[in-house]
Chain A
Amino acid sequence: MEDIKDLVLNYVINEYQEDEDDEITYDTPLISSGFVDSFSMVSLKVFLEKKFNISIPDEEATPEAFDSVNKIVDLVNGYLEKK
């Protein structure tokens, strides 16, 4: 479980952190706080689908579901359990 969390966190930091002063943790709001705009969220969805070999329907890839690393991990785990 921790591996997935760190994997997602590292991706989010590498992909979205613009300013090194900004700290991104597991609970940092990503979309509602403006770290990730909804347009850039697409690359996160593609990363998750490729990395975990899952398919996330657009209606479930909502800004709310992607709003923190913890929420993303919950979403991913839901799909992994169904596999």
Chain B
Amino acid sequence: MSYSNKVKDLYVNQLKDIKSAGIYKEERFIHSSQAADIEVEFPRGSDLKNVINMCANNYLGLSSHPEVLKAAHEGLDTRGYGMSSVRFICGTQDIHRELENKVTEFLGTEDTILFPSCMDANAGVFEALLTSEDIMISDRLVHASIIDGMRLCSAEHDTFKHSNMEHLEQKLQLHADKRIKMVITDGVFSMDGDLAKLDEMVKLCQKYDALLFVDDSHSSGFIGKTGRGTHEHCGVMGKIDIITTTFGKALGGASGGCVSGRKEIVEMCRQKARPYLFSNTISPVVVAGVLKVFEILSQSTERRDKLENNTNFWRKGLSDAGFVLKEGNSPIVPVMLFNAKLSQDFSKDLFNLGIYAIGFFFPVVPNGQARIRTQISAGHEMHHLEKALDAFIKVGKKYGILGLTKQEIIDKYGL
């Protein structure tokens, strides 16, 4: 036994520090399927509470869609539960190839490779493509999985101010002598809900001979007129060199991700990306479910259109009520409270009123930018949104923040 008291005490003290800093994370146990209406046990051991879910990545409401469930059942019956293998040994079924082709067609790219998750795709893609002769230039607000992936890569890295094209251009000039320059961004930024300026980024990358990488996890399936993603919205389909995305949000919400883009880049990932080479293939059940999701999305834009209408209603309702919102046009609508404690108190009060929405604060978001991040779904009906809006207004009134500016909220509650 090597778990000495010394080691144990070290962890006990670190956990105490996390708790005293107010950043200890507690799970809420959901006793139902993922949906707009869920049953939640929180805190642990308490009675179940019916609440409206305003914080899921279930943007298209497909996580528990009957057709997706049926397809998953069929996948289970015909292709089994698991493959007990990585892809290149004996973990590739016909449906894995079918899904890769479907994603390629949907995103308008040249080829696609599946990964166990988008976190894995981001962990593997940079190391597979770049060496110490190269440079990665990333937006300062990219997702943590991209930062981890960049850390695993020997290429140099630099950052540019969030969505600041002038600053990006300066960095492209600064690193002009590098062999490969890769500009890296999220399509929709997960904490702020704003969209990358992909049209401008494509132009800059063409001007400075750089590759463009976009993580479209919070966009695939619903951003753009037919839901192809941020590149469709910005009119640059076919011009993004590398897109990573997830099937764990709008596209069924189970798990799995991919790298999609230039043929040779995808081929390099198939040869060199470590999470692809050393981690299990996606379960056939999940592959069958995601294939059905793409079939549903290819038939009609009804769900993304409903999501857009729901988002417009929600954003307008909050704005008219006098909340400070982060500007944007995605279903991620952050209600800005700035003060960390206020964000936690606000979230608790919402929960008591039957609304499930989480408060985020530093270090998940920059210091002094605490917020309630709300996420809208096509699974929300108008009565869900109306009830949630009533609750937000009630709690907003309690704390006296309706109609206040950012500075007035900060003056009242501090940072």
B-binding residues in A (CB < 8 A): 15-16, 18, 21, 33-35, 37, 39-40, 42-43, 46
Among B147, B159, B367, residue most surrounded by chain A Cβ atoms (within 10 Å)? B159
A39 with B159, Cβ < 8 A, contacts A33-B367, A34-B363, A34-B367 known: yes
Assess the B140–A37 pair: CB atoms within 8 A: yes
CB pair A42 B158 closer than 8 Å: yes
Which of B159, B162, B366, B407 touches A43 (beta carbons < 8 Å)?
A: B159
* With A18-B161, A18-B162: A40-B363 Cβ-Cβ less than 8 Å: no
A48 to B237, CA, bound (A): 40
Give the chain B neighbours of A16 by CB distance below 8 A.
161
B contact residues around A15 at 8 Å (CB): 161
Residues in B359-401 with C-beta less than 8 Å from chain A:
362-363, 366-368
Note all chain B residues with C-beta closer than 8 A to A42: 157-158
In the complex, chain B residues whose CB is within 8 Å of the CB of A33? 367
**In the bound complex, what is the Cα–Cα distance between A37 and B366 (angstroms)?**
9
Q: How far is the CA of A35 from the CA of B366 in the complex (A)?
A: 7
Give the interface centre of A16, A34, A39, A40 by most chain B CB atoms within 10 Å: A39
Identify the interface centre among B140, B151, B406: most chain A CB within 10 Å of its CB: B140
Q: Which B positions have Cβ atoms within 8 angstroms of A? A: 140, 147, 150-151, 157-159, 161-162, 362-363, 366-368, 406-407
CB neighbours of B158 from chain A (8 A): 42-43, 46
Contact A34 B159 (CB under 8 A): no
Q: A18-B366, A34-B368, A40-B140 are in contact. List 18 more A-B contacts (CB 8 A).
A: A15-B161, A16-B161, A18-B140, A18-B162, A21-B406, A34-B362, A34-B363, A34-B366, A35-B366, A35-B367, A37-B140, A39-B147, A39-B150, A40-B159, A42-B157, A43-B158, A43-B159, A46-B158
B362: chain A residues at CB < 8 Å are: 34
A39 to B406, CA, bound (A): 28
B175 CB → nearest A CB, Å: 10
Q: List 21 A-B contacts (CB under 8 A).
A: A16-B161, A18-B140, A18-B162, A21-B407, A33-B367, A34-B362, A34-B366, A34-B367, A34-B368, A35-B367, A39-B147, A39-B150, A39-B151, A39-B157, A40-B140, A40-B159, A42-B157, A42-B158, A43-B158, A43-B159, A46-B158
Task: Point out the residues of chain A lying under 8 angstroms from B363, CB to CB.
Answer: 34
| Assembly CA distance A35 to B367 (angstroms) | 8
Closest to B146 in A: A39
- Across the interface, which residues of A come within 8 angstroms of B406, CB to CB? 21
Question: Residue on A with the closest CB to B407?
Answer: A21
Q: How far is the CA of A21 from the CA of B363 in the complex (A)?
A: 20
Select from chain A the residue with minimum beta-carbon distance to B366: A34
Give chain A residues whose Cβ lies under 8 Å from the Cβ of B151.
39
Inter-chain contacts of B407 with A (CB < 8 A): 21
